[in-house]
Amino acid sequence: MKPLRGPSFSRWSGTASIRKHPFLANSCNCPTPARFLNTLPETKNEGPLKGVRILDLSRVLAAPLCTQILADYGAEVIKVEDVGKGDDTRYWKVSGEQSAWKDDSGPVSNYFAAVNRNKRSICLNLKDPRGRDIFLQLAKKADVVVDNFRPGALDRLGLGYDVLSTINPRIIHASVSGYGSVGPFSKRAGYDMIAGAEAGLLHLTGERGGPPVRPGLGLTDMCTGLFTHGAILAALYAREITGKGQMVKASLYETQVALLTNVALAWLNLGQEAERWGTQHPSVVPYDAFKTKDLYFVCGATNDSQFRILCKQLGLADLANDPRFTTNADRVKNRDELYPVLNRAFKTKSTDEWIELFEGSGLPYAPINTMERVFEHPQTKATEMVHQLPFDAAKSGQLKLLGPAVKFSGTPASIRTAPPLLGEHTDDILRELELSQGEIDDLHASKVV
């Protein structure tokens, strides 16, 4: 597929340099692969993973988030996409979103943009022998391959870990699936809410006595991406000791079971079934979201001293001396008597009034902010969590992205390029493999790329 229109600021150099990096697959004073040189004018790559090359076969959310974090840390990430289609999330647009994009920009969405910055895109038909050979050429010079196909899918294409490790013994292959590579559900497709239901998360979400509620974000997907990115870093470190790569396997189901933490141990060790608590805490009372005059306000008293302070702030000082509520154990037992009193009190003021009243009290509290309030928040601005980049696909010419969550003192993470358009870097990458223009044109004509 011919690369679609791309932003002129996102270019790569085909020149190689001699340097040694502890994580490079060819770290024996061999030429390093090409990498970002022309970044945003104010941003250069000084990340801790500069020099690490990753082939990203993943799509949707879990694994793309993993590779984006690694890209933010300086890794060179090549996103391998289906010819003519690409990542499914390129088409996942909210109502009215299409009007933000240019008609000739190709498939792009905010969902896709959220987890695919700092990457290059090449379209490859891996079912075609020529497409497979191109991928293997890239894998010879790669440090990491990431995929989220069902277990066995890459093996059937002749691109499994056995093949990859033969041509590149130092390669790390991280595979993310729905349910893992073993067990009766291993062949099932993985979806965030489905895995969250199967592994118990949705049993915990929702109001007391009410139906389950889907979390507002893809938490199982995103946590799987976080676990996988850490596992890849551990495998890269282990490679420096052993000299060999390895297979890393992660799944949505295993991630979500692991995230059950204390709830799981209450069942395993006490036989205690979990309940839905809404925004309440099962063992700390009060700890809840309270309706104010306008929004919601989260507040808690994690010990008896804080409860006395809370009662004073609410104008309910005598409540702290009520024998039903004196200790946390009393309050847990009598929560259904306590919460209606607190609910009535919180409805008497606006959220901002409660914020002013609680400031300096020593109590844990926060408003439940809308997106508008989050991105006008002084803490959001102080931590530079919003970045704006030139983006040719947007009618405004600009794209706002969330910044890296972790800051480094010496090797900073960075946003260097906007998310790629579909196939934007196909020809550049093929030229780096020393294919002639005639060969590249033939591959396009045959729909191999």
User: Is 264 in a helix, a strand, or coil?
Assistant: helix
- The answer to whether residue 221 is catalytic is yes
User: Is the pTM for the entire model greater than 0.85?
Assistant: yes
Q: Does residue 375 have a pLDDT over 50?
A: yes
Quick one: pLDDT at residue 43? 61
Half-sphere exposure at residue 123, Cβ-oriented, CA atoms within 13 angstroms: 22
Rounded Cα–Cα distance for residues 283 and 176 (Å) = 35
In this structure, what are the phi and psi dihedrals at residue 336, rounded to the nearest 5 degrees?
Answer: -70, -20
Q: Does residue 88 have a pLDDT over 80?
A: yes
pLDDT tens-place string over residues 168-196? 999 999 999 999 999 999 999 999 999 99
Quick one: pLDDT at residue 106? 87
- Residue 105 in contact with residue 4, Cβ under 8 Å? yes
Q: Catalytic: which of 56, 192, 221, 288? A: 221
Quick one: pLDDT at residue 26? 39
Is beta strand 119-123 parallel, antiparallel or unpaired with respect to 76-81?
parallel
Beta strands in 204-320 (DSSP E): 247-251, 287-291, 296-300
Mean pLDDT score, 3-8:
35
Q: Does residue 137 have a pLDDT over 90?
A: yes
Quick one: pLDDT at residue 44? 81
Q: Does residue 125 have a pLDDT over 60?
A: yes
Quick one: pLDDT at residue 104? 81
pLDDT tens-place string over residues 423-433? 999 999 999 99
Six-digit token string for 350: 């606006």
Nearest Cα residue to 394 out of 99, 114, 121: 99
Quick one: pLDDT at residue 87? 96
- Residue 3 in contact with residue 423, Cβ under 8 Å? yes
pLDDT tens-place string over residues 57-69? 999 999 999 999 9
Cis peptide before 129 (omega within 30 of 0): no
Half-sphere exposure at residue 377, Cβ-oriented, CA atoms within 13 angstroms: 17
- Residue 320 in contact with residue 391, Cβ under 8 Å? no
pLDDT tens-place string over residues 236-257? 999 999 999 999 999 999 999 9
Question: For the chain, which domains are there?
Answer: 11-258+384-445 (3.40.50.10540), 287-291+296-368 (3.30.1540.10)
pLDDT tens-place string over residues 287-302? 999 999 999 999 999 9
Cα-trace Rg, the chain: 26
Q: Does residue 377 have a pLDDT over 70?
A: yes
